[in-house]
Amino acid sequence: AVRRPVPVYLASFVVIGVTLTFLGPALGEIRERTGTSVSAAGSLFAAMAIGSILASLLAGRLVDRMPGHLVHAGCLLAIAAGMLVMPHLGSLLPALAVFALLGGAAAAIDVVDNTLLMWHKGADVGRSMNLMHFSFGIGALAGPAIVAAGLAVVSLGTSLMAIVLAVWILVVPSPRRSEVARDEQGDATRAVLIVASVFFLLYVGYEVTFAGWVFTYGEATGLAGAAPTVLVTMFWVLFTGGRLLSAVVVGRVRPRTVMVSSIGLAVIAAVLLVIGDGAAWAVWPGTMLLGLALAPQFPVMFAYLERRVHFTGSDTSLFIASAGVGGAVFPFATGAVFDAAGASVVPWMVLALAIAVAGSFVAIDRRFRH
């Protein structure tokens, strides 16, 4: 098992789950250490997003030209270095550089591991792909708890785990892309790449928008005390559970069926939030349904596409970079409209994105069915 790639990919996704989600809970302590205002500290999120997009575009080209596990190990060491330095930052400028590095390294691992897993598993990638993204959810859930113990704890713990994984992955043979496509696979045409990239852009914009604004939305609709925190926690618990459930189901059900079902359920959840207009009877079940419905879409879309297209690392780069753009643009746009129009804009934004995601999937599915 030590020489098999899947276990180290799963463990690495726990690391990037922590890396990409610890900033929010740690922002107060980082602000104190760097002496920055709330608005200035918000630029750290932008730095992570920019690093993520740029590294995503580069990582696929690297994995097409050299052993992917070398790229993976280098990115893990970059995460270790960034995490070790992070508690000692004393001003904003070096903090921006460190968080751009962390965002870039985590996104590059995302590209590399999604690509290598498809090359390694082929048509049977569905279960492993879902487990890998479930592992990200474990890291995302663990991050706030680790941060609660202090910045030094998350720094040292994540760094040590990244170093161990970097050594481990160097002794595992790196999967290579098959030179010959399977009979059912076609080439990745420009049209397919564009429509699939639009799907990932919209989906991640949808997920990050809701996950990022549900706490504020809960407060604005009258939830008090610990209730908004519980609401966010329930979203992530259902989201992570949904990833695990889809890992079980996708081996027995076609990826297309999972995609159609989860996209339809997400639209229903968004409609419930719009109809409820902030009422507790709609906010709680709508949020939990949305967590469950959103969970399978990202990993299962990769499994759906792999059955139809013979991908390169550069193709995967385009998808992950598009996802990064969606994750940066839509939450920002929602915040701007929230300020102007109030809390009621959130469910309408969620519904619009749910319909747009459904439309983009229908567009790509029609291309493969004709």
Position 1 scores a pLDDT of 52
Position 268 scores a pLDDT of 97
Position 335 scores a pLDDT of 76
Q: Could you report the per-residue pLDDT of 113-126, keeping only the tens digit for each?
A: 988 988 888 777 77
Q: How far apart are CA 284 and CA 129, in angstroms?
A: 29
Model's pTM, two decimal places? Answer: 0.80
Burial 282-317 (b: 16+ CB within 10 A, else e): bbbebbbbbbbbbbbbbbbbbbbbbbbbbbbbbbbb
Position 135 scores a pLDDT of 92
Question: Per the structure block, which two tokens stand in for 27?
Answer: 């922002």
What are the backbone dihedrals phi and psi of residue 32, each rounded to the nearest 5 degrees, phi first?
-65, -45
Residue extents of the structural domains in the chain: 5-170, 190-369
The dotted CATH code for 5-170 is 1.20.1250.20
Q: How far apart are CA 283 and CA 227, in angstroms?
A: 11
Q: Which fold has domain 190-369?
A: Growth Hormone; Chain: A; (1.20.1250)
Q: How far apart are CA 80 and CA 102, in angstroms?
A: 9
Whether 5-170 shares its CATH topology with 190-369 is answered yes
Position 100 scores a pLDDT of 94
Q: How far apart are CA 161 and CA 150, in angstroms?
A: 17
Q: Could you report the per-residue pLDDT of 324-362, keeping only the tens digit for each?
A: 888 888 877 877 777 777 778 888 989 999 999 999 999
Mean pLDDT by 10 residues, the chain (370 residues): 82 92 78 77 81 90 90 97 90 91 94 88 78 88 79 91 96 78 61 89 89 82 84 87 85 87 96 92 94 92 82 82 86 77 84 95 83
